[in-house]
Amino acid sequence: MSTRLFVSGALINGAEIELSGDQSRYLAKVLRARAGDALRVFNGDGPEWPARVHSIGKNRVILKLGDSVDANTESPLKIHLVQGVSRGERMDFVVQKATELGVKRITPVLTEYGVVKLAGDRAEKRREHWQKVAASACEQSGRTRLPLIDAPMPLKNFFGDKPASVDAELILAPGAAKPLAGIPVPQTKVCILIGPEGGFSDIEYDDAGAAGFTAVSLGPRILRTESAAPAALAVLQSLWGDLR
């Protein structure tokens, strides 16, 4: 069994941990795990632990942990994706692929042309959902650190409180004169801003420029929002990250 599972909470070498709910049902019913089967678990903090199924009950599975191992699956390029929130599966797809491509942080932003409106409890529920999508993508891709996913916020709020220590601040803009691959080589940190289905308004592009963002393009074709993020991240990782 080559299964990897994200487990919240502290993990200690040699400890026994109990899985319940969806995870226990997944192991017992879907994978038909048996006592002695091997798998790997991680909690998002960095290492991963080899584990074996110790016992399987009606509604729980007990795992026995081995000693932690450093996975070394994180990119040296720290990418912060600021993504205009799009509808349903499109946003899930962006979170999934951004996680697989090694993004360090995702900030969902609400924009003028965006069709999704989120606030209060609904916004928090969407963030929790995206965290689960990211955890599943980490399980599949071999990552052991989950990206930080912020609560959705208006784009103007992000501009007013954006991180200061960034080597390159970029906004994708169809027709921009500067290609993404033409930016100066960043040392460690890049922030890239990508619009939702309807793109950004002229005012939002102006606000981004005033906030220090440089407009860049991905070539002569206009990509859908769910295509633009993976494409841009792959370019960044290929040029300066761990896909070189």
Give tens-digit pLDDT for 173-210.
998 999 998 998 898 999 999 999 888 999 999 999 99
Question: What stretch(es) of the chain map to CATH 3.40.1280.10?
Answer: 78-240
Name the band, by pLDDT with cuts 50, 70 and 90, for residue 40: very high
Could you give the CA distance from residue 175 to residue 223 in angstroms, rounded to a whole number? 12
Could you give the CA distance from residue 224 to residue 113 in angstroms, rounded to a whole number? 14
Res 153: pLDDT: 92
Res 231: pLDDT: 96
Could you give the CA distance from residue 201 to residue 89 in angstroms, rounded to a whole number? 23
Residue 7, C-beta contacts closer than 8 angstroms, at least 6 positions apart: 17, 19, 23, 41, 42, 43
Res 31: pLDDT: 82
C-alpha angle with apex 61: 127 to 37, nearest 5 degrees?
110
Q: Using the predicted structure, report yes or no on whether residue 58 has a pLDDT greater than 90.
A: no
Confidence (pTM): 0.90
Residue 125, C-beta contacts closer than 8 angstroms, at least 6 positions apart: none
Q: What is the mean pLDDT of the chain?
A: 90
DSSP line for 97-161: HHHHTT-SEEEEEE-TT------HHHHHHHHHHHHHHHHHHHHHHT--BPPEEPPPEEHHHHHHT
Lowest-confidence region among 13-17, 31-35, 137-141, 181-185: 31-35
User: Which residue would you say has higher pLDDT here, 74 or 117?
Assistant: 74
Query: What would the CATH number be for the domain defined by 78-240?
Result: 3.40.1280.10
From the candidate CATH numbers 1.10.1740.10, 2.40.240.20, 3.40.50.2300, 3.40.50.2000, the one assigned to the domain spanning 4-70: 2.40.240.20
Alpha helix positions (H), the chain: 21-25, 88-100, 120-141, 155-160, 202-210, 225-240
Residue 35 tokens read as 């006592």
DSSP secondary structure letter of residue 25: H
Could you give the CA distance from residue 5 to residue 20 in angstroms, rounded to a whole number? 13
Residue-wise pLDDT tens digits, 60-70: 888 999 999 99
Q: Using the predicted structure, report yes or no on whether residue 24 has a pLDDT greater than 90.
A: no
DSSP secondary structure letter of residue 215: E
Lowest-confidence region among 92-96, 123-127, 190-194, 234-238: 123-127
Question: What stretch(es) of the chain map to CATH 2.40.240.20?
Answer: 4-70
